[in-house]
Amino acid sequence: MFKKILIANRGEIALRVIRTCKEMGIKTVQVYSEADANSLPVLLADESVCVGPPASSGSYLNIPNILSAAVMTGAEAIHPGYGFMAENPDFAEKCRDHGIVFIGPTPESMHALGSKAGGREIAAISNVPTVPGTGLLENTEEAIEKAEKIGYPVLLKASAGGGGRGQKIVRSSDEMKVLFAQAQSEAQMYFSDPALIMEKFLEEFRHVEVQVFGDGQGHVIHIGERDCSIQRRNQKLIEEAPSTLPHDLRDEILAAGVRLAKHVNYAGAGTLEFIVDREDHFYFMEMNTRIQVEHCVSEAISRLDFVKLQIEIAAGMGLNLTQEDIRLEGHAIECRINAEDPKHDFRPSAGKIEDVHFAGGPGVRIDSHTFTGYSIPPNYDSLIGKLICWAPTRDAAIARTKRALEETVVQGIKTTIPLYVEIMDNEFYKRGTVMTNFLKTRMGM
């Protein structure tokens, strides 16, 4: 087992990794930007190293500085969290070149699956259905030509990214002339890769994803599925596990996810994202070769520590679980608490948190790096915490989530908490009839 791990990320996921490392007796090194000098992960890690200015391009995306920090502190492995360099095969390869273990899949798997274009190719080979779409697009002219064959509306997507970044819904050739360049620019800014693909855009669908773990030797298991259909501009807000899909359909999607991951001898944690239309046809979208923001709901129903599993697999201890070992119980809901104002088009609300009180009680988990007096830097994602609630049934989980949201107080900034209370009261949400356009069609937003 590793003696020391460097965490190449920030915020709540960095704190999440630190906590598991401490329980495993592993020392931690936290890298940070100048904007995060007083953050909770920096305060709680065994060591910390500043790797650059507030801009992520000079700090959390600065490969030479992060590798230097690992070498200087004697870290044997790097946990990338999610975002930043978690799905960067070049970074994983440079870690290997320096004798440092990248806690995640191999660079080869990341090259194959990490891009949306590569994932579509492997899905086809694995007999997993995909949405009509394209490979990598060269320019606007090609995009217009392919879009006219597919049929508008279409969705431009950053091949190297996730989290809704670099995505644009395009409804005409005139829009394509403007939005293609915008999507490329966002893809370059967030993922250092401007490559785009295109897919047919479905107006109404459910977003369902399969959590898998593999040992890199052909052994792959799933740990259930999650429904991530409550979204804003392709960015998830609320996730739950399991989904409310019919059991036969769930089994088909789970089998498809495992089949695809086995095809590349996947190692570590991975998530396969699917869309499900109104007729219950499902299509593979992409595979995220990392741990997900919403992994917590799957942990809640499985009682497993996913970060611990990641570390054990990376350390060469294998995956000591079979599919029969996985017992999923109850229902879990996660609300992403963002520093945004839902009443004003989700305008960012960076600033100082004057007071904060998080909910507690049975079945309630809070993952947050914030505290009273913490100043939210304007340089990064607006996520300030996650509220995860587990209960024996979905109805009970909704009631517990509403109670916990009402108990949570964050003063000094605007947050998405009031919106989530409304959603927990919404009859369509309670019935589980949720599509990705829920905020527009059911909440008038």
pLDDT tens digits, one per residue of 85-98 = 999 999 999 999 99
pLDDT at 31: 98
Q: How far apart are CA 427 and CA 437, in angstroms?
A: 15
Residue whose token pair is 């009682």: 303
Q: How far apart are CA 9 and CA 140, in angstroms?
A: 34
pLDDT at 114: 62
pLDDT at 234: 82
Tokens of 119: 């994932």
CB atoms within 10 A of CB 329: 11
Which positions are catalytic? 290
pLDDT at 349: 93
Question: pTM for the complete prediction?
Answer: 0.89
Is residue 399 predicted with pLDDT exceeding 80? yes
Whether 258 and 365 map to the same domain: the answer is: yes
Q: Is residue 125 part of a domain?
A: no
Calculate the average pLDDT of the chain. 94
> Which tops the pLDDT comparison, 286 or 311?
311
pLDDT per position as a tens digit, 223-262: 999 999 999 988 999 999 999 999 999 999 999 999 999 9
> Which tops the pLDDT comparison, 133 or 221?
221
Percent of the chain with pLDDT over 90: 86
Return the ∠ at Cα 198 (arms to 197 and 199), rounded to 5°.
135
CATH number at residue 139: 3.30.1490.20
Whether 163 and 236 map to the same domain: the answer is: no
> Which tops the pLDDT comparison, 278 or 404?
404
Q: Is residue 353 part of a domain?
A: yes
Whether 161 and 244 map to the same domain: the answer is: no
Q: Of 48-62, 123-137, 256-270, which gets the smallest average pLDDT?
A: 123-137
Is residue 76 predicted with pLDDT exceeding 80? yes
CA 378 to chain centre: 20
Region label for 330, one of left (φ > 0), alpha (ψ between -120 and 50) or beta (otherwise):
left
Q: What is the mean pLDDT of residues 361-372?
A: 97
Q: How far apart are CA 434 and CA 240, in angstroms?
A: 12
Is residue 164 predicted with pLDDT exceeding 80? no
Q: What is the mean pLDDT of residues 174-193?
A: 92
Query: Among 184, 200, 216, where does a domain finish?
Result: 200
Is residue 161 predicted with pLDDT exceeding 80? no
> What domain range is 393 assigned to?
206-443
pLDDT at 163: 67
Whether 357 and 222 map to the same domain: the answer is: yes
Q: Is residue 117 part of a domain?
A: no
Whether 165 and 259 map to the same domain: the answer is: no
Q: How far apart are CA 60 and CA 62, in angstroms?
A: 6
Whether 245 and 394 map to the same domain: the answer is: yes
pLDDT at 128: 93
Is residue 192 predicted with pLDDT exceeding 90? no
Place 210 in a pLDDT band, splitting at 50, 70 and 90: very high
Whether 254 and 381 map to the same domain: the answer is: yes
Whether 238 and 353 map to the same domain: the answer is: yes
What's the number of domains the chain is made of? 3
Q: How far apart are CA 78 and CA 92, in angstroms?
A: 9
